[in-house]
Amino acid sequence: MKRFNNFQKVPDLLQALLNICLFFLAIALSVLLISETWYIVQFVYKTVFNKGESYYGMLGELLIFFMYFEFIALIIKYFKSNFHFPLRYFIYIGITAVIRLIIIDHEQAVSTFWWALAILAMTCALFIASKRDTAHEHEEVK
């Protein structure tokens, strides 16, 4: 029976390891977010004085900035919601990633169409997830 009790500690140890790794990931993402912010500031400074910069590149970098921001927000939400990742945050990140992909690589109309359909599908999933969350909140209130 004592052996069985030792196995019950495994999920707690794994949860602690996950929490530590997510903490360090949040720190690394924060550093990258600051780095991306610095890049954007430099880009704006260069654009003011040199008109030849690529705005598509800037837009791609700006969306990377928002992806870092969303991942950090996801980790914060994980810790605030009792170690649970909300589905809609992953959908937000997916939509942002596909939008970035379309902005960076929009040479072929067919692939852009398919990526746009992927965004539509994720938007529908976000709508369904939001309705489900609202239904659960109403049940908890009753």
What pLDDT digit, counting tens, does each position of 48-90 carry?
Answer: 777 656 677 778 788 889 889 989 999 998 999 888 888 888 8
pLDDT score of 53: 61
pLDDT band for position 138 (cuts 50, 70, 90): low
| Alpha-carbon distances, residue 72 vs 49, 51, 99 (angstroms) | 33, 33, 19
More confident site: 87 or 33: 33
Q: Can you give the pLDDT at residue 75? A: 92
Rounded mean pLDDT, 4-11 = 75
Q: pTM here?
A: 0.72
Q: Quickly count: other Cβ atoms within 10 Å of residue 93's Cβ.
A: 18
**Higher-pLDDT residue of 52, 119:** 119
Q: For residue 84, which phi and psi values (nearest 5 degrees)? A: -135, 130
Q: Rounded to an integer, what distance in angstroms lies between the CA atom of residue 106 and that of residue 87?
A: 28
Sequence ranges of the domains in the chain: 2-141
What's the CA gap between 61 and 136, in Å, rounded?
A: 37
The pLDDT of residue 10? 86
